[in-house]
Structure 1
């Protein structure tokens, strides 16, 4: 048996050896009634030992993980079978990092090890920037004196996406359409040419925001299906940042928060998909606009490094520690249920499609900077 590792930040890190795992696997195979029961269930099901390691997986689970036999799964923990990014951020693996403290999967397993059934939701961002939304149930099982857990999984990603479309996207569209309708109804009652011009400009801006929302949702859906086609072109960093500065200075979300270009910003040319880069930086700027920080200023910057070009958005807010590890998960948000697509789409579009690196730094002394590093 491997020794307990002291580096764990949450659940125990101890694991059984290969020999012990093989013995447990054989014990389960000998229990025909248990195997037949697990295989008769349409849900994904695995059996875990007391160290949260897989000792048996039914065919539904193996199909979902794209494994043809047991060998690649035996000994792994649930997050490792799903390629959870957090599971590979530590030598001690799934369930042992700070980020794991808010994971529904490990918490359900830990509760089941205390003798009670537990059902929770689990959000996973994989090492390939795919998002999984799962409902997991952990049931305690005593087999020949061995404390095991029957761990079943429902993929609820499609349901989450549907609810997101209803709650977020359609809600935002109705707000924008309502604003346009309200302003349009006022036009026929106004005779002052200057006032008419101002309202017409406001309607044009609101219409553009409406189009942006529709395009953003379409891009995100295509990206998640793996169908997004890149349109590469040469882009001037200074032109890009200046355009974003003008756009979001008058955005409907912005109530007068200043947006400026950094004095240290470098002018350079990069070859990329302009629409996607604008979408990523636009989401970073929107996040900064929505932060409630007195006398805040948003600063846009470009820095050229040896192998990459970094575009960033800075403001004076601070991201709480409990939020940092969750920030790029789909539907995770500090703004309420059903939000959280902005930061998730940054990671998906920036890393999976533009081959860059998306991240952030945040502390009391220097505030928060979101960035995307793109290869030259």
Structure 2
């Protein structure tokens, strides 16, 4: 029961008792009765005055409590004129002012933090208590292809894509380097912070493509320069000596001359082959910056397909060209892009079986291309290493083709992926800059 109701009940009961006592007085005590009635009226007036003095501060306190419940920190209580109550109201108003200032500061901090999160190049995903997605920034949406409407509230394991599946396996405080389709590398970490006594988990995703690519390139450039310098110097001297030694064949017995000459020629040819291998490696290092000019991608695809068609006759390859209508003018270095496409077509030809199919597609909006084959596919453990410099699954392979193609595509600032989807293995290239008409 509220204090006001208790006061009213007490006052009513006390005055009823007083009234009954006055009524029960004998008639000869008339002066006492009159004095009692006067006292009753004075008591009622004093009770009303006290009630008003209590009810007004009580209403103010109730309104203050409601304001706090509604998180309205802009309302202040008015002084009542009662010393004790005014002290309480002063403390309340001071508390409200402090809460309002803290709320403004917190709101500004949250606004700045939200802006920083959205502008961050790293992907950030906030999780709810059940590890479902609460919110995420633009970088995370691009990396994981999240939709701002449908993805919120979903569990990470329910999001399609290899990156989301790998992230969903992370434990709290754990971090991992995740490679997607051999071309995209991410450092992912799951952590938490405490706010208002509750733990909030989040995922931090950093794209390491550029950093690792630069380190890899710097490393193999140094190795190739050393190999090229030492090998060419040695081979040049050895071949010179071997060519001189061949001249002494006439001093041998006629029956040994042919074998002698053939053996030295084999050694010379092997040295030349080794020089060619080193030259192939050096081509990757010495690749110049692309000279971007206006070229028709459809025409380039047609010409490369005609060039590789003869190589596919041995397997009776079925070529499917699904090019967008008309011309597709894009900015590119046609010579370098042709070299990259030749390597990609060559890999597709080596992957297909007899009477296999190679499909060539181009799209206009957005501009992209896809070279697909229905060969044996790429095993999961190999897909993570496809674009590792000089990695090859072929016997005696040098891994030059994909390394050179990767270098050309990255220099063109294009995005690409190589993965098996169902019965098709797709090499997709996107991010072309359209040429002005």
TM-score when normalising by structure 1: 0.48
| More helix as a share of residues | 2
The structure having more radius of gyration, on CA atoms, is: 2
TM-score when normalising by structure 2: 0.43
